[in-house]
Structure 1
Amino acid sequence: MCTDSCANPKPLPPGVEPISGEEARRLIHHTAGPELEALLARARAVREAVHGTGVSLCGIVNAKSGHCPEDCGFCQQSAHFKDTGAPEYPMMSAREIADQAKAAEAAGAREFSVVTSGTRLAKESELATLEEAIRLIRAETTVEPCASLGLMRRPELERLKRAGLQHYHHNLETSRSHFDQVCTTHSYDEQLETIRAAKELGYQLCTGGILGMGETPEQRVELAETLREVGTHCVPLNFLNPRPGTPMAHLRAITAGECLAAIAVFRLMLPAAHLFVMGGREVNLGAEQHRIFDAGADGTMVGNYLTSAGTQPHEVVEMVRGKGYELRPTPDAERWAFHGEAPRETGWNRRAAEGDRKRALPVVR
């Protein structure tokens, strides 16, 4: 879900240098008042110096949902947790996935990610469907295709690269020191193995995490340090939206000030990376969500999330323009399907918000 400009990170302009982990651990506690405002001003200046004033929008489709054998404590789609209300359905058709991408493009998206539940996408029929979907997206839209498919192995990643997949998304979710409080069915090193394999194959990496899962502010900085080590091109920052039926349902959303301070610190630690603020934006930031751009973000989500409704497309566009920014077009701007106005309703990923329990998935690892 990163932009084409991240393939070879541009040199940082004079005067812009990543801050140290030590400084980040101090700044991340600046969550209110003049200290927060000074932090945001610093982060916004870096964002505009490195990335300009354009904002990239990303849309996703929940292409295969539910019955995941992993036990990630934040996720409604885990088969370990009952009565979460998550939609359950098998892999969409290639045609349906491509049509979803077209709808997202018309709403202003320049990146589109196909997301599937499960440890990894490994069934031949599903891989073939995704290959065909990627080819259709490349032929019929100008969006850059991305996929989030779990702990993928190198041979399958090579196949999808040949089909035209440009970006690979896999979140580390949290810091290594906090990961055992989030998931026990796979390891941190397994995640890093997938991320490094994707990078070696020439994918543009989209790797971030979820904040507000019981970690300390210092552990948020630890995650940013790991992202810096792996050299991710794009950092999607999510904030926990506690979902019913999951082990994290009882956690309180972190404050808007904590969110903004974290975004700003990630921007200052990773000045060359594209920084997207994604899931949980509405719940955690509320009326302050427009300030993600003050904090250094240069991208955000448009449309529905994996298992919950998101902000309507026209409201996202209005939020961007209200801060004096414009949407960053796709590389083929003349053919981009966005014509200045986004639809007033989300035209894709509806199952994510509405739920669909008519077709159940078997648990396949």
Structure 2
Amino acid sequence: MGLAEQLKQKILEGYQMTKEEALELYDEPLVEICRAADEIRQFFCGNRFDICTIVNGKSGKCSENCKYCAQSAYYHTSAEEYPLLDTEEIVRQARYNADCGVLRYSIVTSGRCLNDDEIRQMCEAIREIKEKVDIEVCVSFGLLTEEQFRRIKEAGASRVHNNLETSRRNFPNVCTTHTFDDKVRAIRAAMAAGLEVCSGGIMGLGESAEDRIDMALTLRELGIKSVPVNMLNPIPGTPYEKNERLGVNDMRRIVAVCRYLLPDAAIRLAGGRGLMEDKGEGCFCSGANAAISGDMLTTAGYTVETDLKMIDRLGYKVYLS
């Protein structure tokens, strides 16, 4: 019995894999890791698949210097710039996505954090969505305080998105205008306010396998159950524009090891999926069981209709995670 199978059996019995075991597993044959990871997914999550969509609620002129981001004011890219969308447009898009069969809709805004007036505007939009549309609302508004998160929850949002992006060790190589601890504090503040949290990272930033595993271990420590796994799309004009793009098998290996470390989480293919030749199908057979559909902020994704057909063909059923 190979290592992938041995560790799978232990995880099915409730074992938590160690960092050392994860590092060893990472180099095991891909087919074995992916097959076992999918069996772990089936055991803990069944055929449940969580699909969500996002709206770029405020774009560009971001004060932060994240090296991967087209919206940072530090870099010259072709990303569109505009202030907060009005309530009518945000509600219109929520209704459109609900009509397409999507169960969760996320409002994402650029910048370190929204100010109090912007939060007031977004709370109005969230309240109107909850009054008029049958859909869950998720928000990604940056590094807010617990009090600000409470206002958002009271308006009707159920989940906050805030990616760690990478490991604590690698984070200073990716961004210097805020810290890894700033991220963790915001995640804990959202949890204290009673919100669920969605948090993951971007693969292809120059990180090592150890960085990827360390990030997953931090997510496990924080108790995160919705984990976006993004693949870097090297955007011209950003410092990472010449980074080598990862391949489908790289991403399959990453999501499979994440499944071992986070056996009952919704592991969500997110940004960069549009660059994969198979639209992420290989990852959905290797432990991933969730996705962001539609456009991805500044890059194109796949249509909800196309994704729902693939999800059905693979034997999944759409549920909220």
TM range (shorter): over 0.9
Structure 1: any 5+ residue segments left out of the alignment? 1-11, 332-365
- Which structure ranks higher in relative contact order (CA pairs < 8 Å, sequence separation ≥ 6)? 1
CA contact (8 A) 2:56 2:109 kept: yes
Say whether the 8 Å CA contact 2:274–2:300 is kept in structure 1: no
Give distance in 1, aligned partners of 2:281 and 2:159.
26
Separation in 1 of the partners of 2:209 and 2:131?
A: 44
- Paired residues of 1:40 and 1:295 also in contact (CA < 8 A): yes
2:243 matched residue in structure 1? 251
Residue type of the alignment partner of 2:84: M
* Aligned twin of 2:292: 301
CA distance in 2, matches of 1:272, 1:47: 7
Q: Is the 8 A contact 1:57 1:108 kept in 2?
A: no
> Hey, what's the Cα distance between the residues in 1 that align with 2:114 and 2:108?
10
1:101 corresponds to which of 94, 106, 117 = 94
Q: 2:13 aligns with which of 12, 15, 39?
A: 15
Per the TM alignment, residue 191 of structure 1 is displaced from its structure 2 partner at its CA by 0.8
- Residue 185 of structure 2 aligns with which residue? 193
Name structure 2 gaps, 5 residues minimum: 1-9
Is 1:88 aligned to 2:81, yes or no? yes
Q: How does 1:207-286 map to 2 (within 5 A)?
A: 207-283=199-275, 285-286=276-277
Distance 1:303 1:196 in 2: 29
> Is 1:291 matched with 2:282?
yes
Equivalent residues in 2 for 1:1-365, closer than 5 Å: 15-30=13-28, 35-82=29-76, 84-124=77-117, 126-283=118-275, 285-287=276-278, 289-328=280-319
Question: Helix, strand or coil for the counterpart of 1:161?
Answer: helix
CA distance in 2, matches of 1:143, 1:292: 26
How many pairs were matched up? 312
Q: Which whole-Å CA distance do the structure 1 matches of 2:195 and 2:137 have between them?
A: 11
Measured after TM superposition, the shift of residue 187 of structure 1 is 0.9
**3-state DSSP of counterpart to 2:53:** strand
Paired residue secondary structure (1:189): helix
Letter in 2 for 1:170: N
Which whole-Å CA distance do the structure 2 matches of 1:36 and 1:13 have between them?
18
1:30-63 deviation per Cα after TM superposition (whole angstroms, max 9, x unaligned): 4xxxx21111111111111111112111100000
Q: TM-score, normalised by structure 2?
A: 0.93
Is the CA contact (8 Å cut-off) linking 2:50 and 2:266 kept in structure 1? no
Distance 1:74 1:109 in 2: 28
Give how far 1:288 is off: 6.2
The structure richer in strand per residue is 2
Distance 1:29 1:288, change over 3 A: farther
Aligned mates of 2:134, 2:53 — CA distance in 1: 13
CA distance in structure 1 between the aligned counterparts of 2:89 and 2:135, rounded to whole angstroms: 16
Listed one character per residue, the Cα deviations across residues 135-158 of structure 1 (whole Å, up to 9, x for unaligned) are: 112122222111001111122111
Shift of 1:287: 2.3
* SS of residue paired to 1:304: strand
Is the partner of 2:52 in helix, strand or coil? strand
SS at 2:98 equivalent: helix
Per-residue CA deviations over 1:149-201 (Å, capped at 9, x if unaligned) read 11111221111111111101100100011111100101111111100111111
In the aligned structure 2, how far is the partner of 1:60 from the partner of 1:172?
A: 18
Q: TM-score, normalised by structure 1?
A: 0.82
Distance change in 2, residues 1:16/1:39 (3 Å): farther
Write the letter of the residue equivalent to 2:125: A
Deviation at 1:263, TM superposition (A): 0.1
Q: Deviations over 1:185-224 (max 9, x none)?
A: 0111111110011111111110111011000111100110
The question of whether the paired residues in 1 share the 8 Å contact of 2:231 and 2:271 is answered with: yes
**Contact preservation (8 Å) 1:29, 1:217:** no
* Rounded Cα–Cα distance in structure 2 between residues aligned with 1:288 and 1:158: 37
Q: Assess if the C-alpha contact under 8 Å between 1:24 and 1:221 holds in 2.
A: yes
Whole-angstrom CA distance in 2 between matches of 1:94 and 1:128: 11
| Cα deviations by residue, 1:229-249 (Å, 9 ceiling, x for unpaired) | 111121111110111110000
Match for residue 6 of structure 2? none
CA RMSD of aligned residues (A): 1.6
Rounded to whole Å, the distance in 1 between the matches of 2:295 and 2:16 is: 33
Shift of 1:294: 1.1
**Secondary structure, aligned partner of 1:177:** coil
- 1:361 match: none
